[in-house]
Amino acid sequence: MTASFRVLVTGDSLAPAAVNVLSEIGADVVLMHDAVTPERLAHEMARAPTQAILMRGNPVFSAATIAGNPHLRVIAKHGAGVDSVDIDAATASRVLVMVAGDANAPAVAEHTIALILALGRDVVSLNTRTRTGAWDRATYRGREIRGRTIGLVGFGRIARHVARTAAALGMSVVALGRSKGRVDPALAREAADLGELLAVSDIVSLHAPLTDATRGMIDAGRLNAMKPGSLLINTARGALVDEDALCAALRSGHLAGAGLDTLAEEPPAQDRPILQAPNLIVTPHIAAQTGASITRTGVEAARNIVAVLTRRDIDRANVVNPVALDPP
């Protein structure tokens, strides 16, 4: 059978269940095995008409890349963050940009909590010390999270999962949504503004999208406004944080620790100062990478593609640029 649709996957794997969803409409699924640069994208899309992108990772979809492929109808994110896509250009070309619901939210929320617990009980450093001969039992004092306040910056699907889990662990939850009134009072108390959230939180966890407005939002001034001895967690996007300022806040001891799953540069050059900061736990943007999450997310992204290509049952809650659904 000649495939009627070509789906380019910007990664080197896709869950078999997700491939099956695409196979049901006879789609030709093409995995990009190499580094996904704009040049490679342009090259791959020039090889044959490509109707859909299943976007794993965060390759840049610029206006030129989108306009260069007139067959493109949908960019379906394998996850939540679409900061690497020029949304205006996609809308102008009537290309739908879609996210994968809350498919990866439980996994990202669990990793957020893992970073908080690991920092609070110094799991990583104690592991190293104990394996190399230390036995710190007499002197070590960890920090409990029960009774602490967690401040969630952003209140989308992932933050809501974190809120529920944090509450179950006995934490108080404050949050700040994209605009006033977006915080569900059953899950969190809405902070008046970022300043108030930073001032009352023992742990600040970032769940905001990366936009022009949020880039670098946690700068030296904001870090300074956090409580002495507090923790910063970032499982969203590295560029939300000024890494040099974070380094300084960790070195001075103003912050007791930071847990980062995302960095401004990924993968980071080995000489980036943040990698040498004390009391830092850093992981390689894997918060969403559990087996179950990868399957759920792949299937949801594949379903989004099928819905657009077959013009059936598009889940509007997953559409980032609904105006692209309107007739031109």
Ligand X SMILES: O=C(O)CC[C@@H](O)C(=O)O
Active site residue 94: no
The verdict on 154 binding ligand X (CB under 6 A) reads no
User: Which residue type is seen at 270?
Assistant: Q
Interface stretch with ligand X, choices 60-68, 74-82, 123-131, 142-150 (CB under 6 A): 74-82
Closer residue to ligand X (CB): 31 or 123 = 31
Residue 264 lies near ligand X (rule: CB under 6 A)? no
Question: Of 176 and 288, which CB lies nearer to ligand X in the complex structure?
Answer: 288
Among 44, 53, 59, 78, binds ligand X (CB under 6 A): 78
Catalytic residue among 39, 144, 265, 266: 266
Name the minimum Å distance from CB 13 to ligand X.
11
User: How far apart are the C-alpha atoms of 261 and 233, rounded to whole Å?
Assistant: 8
Q: Given the complex with ligand X, which of 56 and 73 has the nearer CB atom?
A: 56
Given the rule CB under 6 A, which of 72-80, 137-145, 219-227, 317-325 is the region that contacts ligand X? 72-80
> Is residue 14 involved in binding ligand X (CB under 6 A)?
no
Nearer to ligand X, 59 or 151 (CB): 59
**Annotated catalytic residue, options 73, 237, 296, 303:** 237
* Three-state secondary structure string covering the chain: CCCCCEEEECCCCCCHHHHHHHHCCCCEEEECCCCCCHHHHHHHHHHCCCCEEEECCCCCECHHHHHCCCCCCEEEECCCCCCCECHHHHHHCCCEEECCCCCCHHHHHHHHHHHHHHHHCCHHHHHHHHHCCCCHHHCCCCCCCCCCEEEEECCCHHHHHHHHHHHHCCCEEEEECCCCCCCCCCCCEECCCHHHHHHHCCEEEECCCCCCCCCCCECHHHHHHCCCCEEEEECCCHHHECHHHHHHHHHHCCEEEEEECCCCCCCCCCCCHHHHCCCEEECCCCCCCCHHHHHHHHHHHHHHHHHHHCCCCCCHHHECCHHHHCCC
Residue 320 is a binding residue for ligand X (CB under 6 A): no
Does residue 301 belong to the site contacting ligand X (CB under 6 A)?
no
Q: Does residue 44 carry a catalytic annotation?
A: no
Residue 296 interacts with ligand X (CB under 6 A): yes or no: no
Question: Smallest distance, Å, CB 56 to ligand X?
Answer: 4
Side chain identity at 8, as an amino acid letter? L
Binds ligand X by CB under 6 A, chosen from 7, 61, 73, 79: 79
Check if 43 is active-site. Answer: no
Nearer to ligand X, 104 or 201 (CB): 104
- Is residue 176 at the binding interface for ligand X, with CB under 6 A as the rule? no
Binding residues for ligand X, rule: CB under 6 A, are 56-57, 78-81, 104, 288
Active site residues: 237, 266, 285
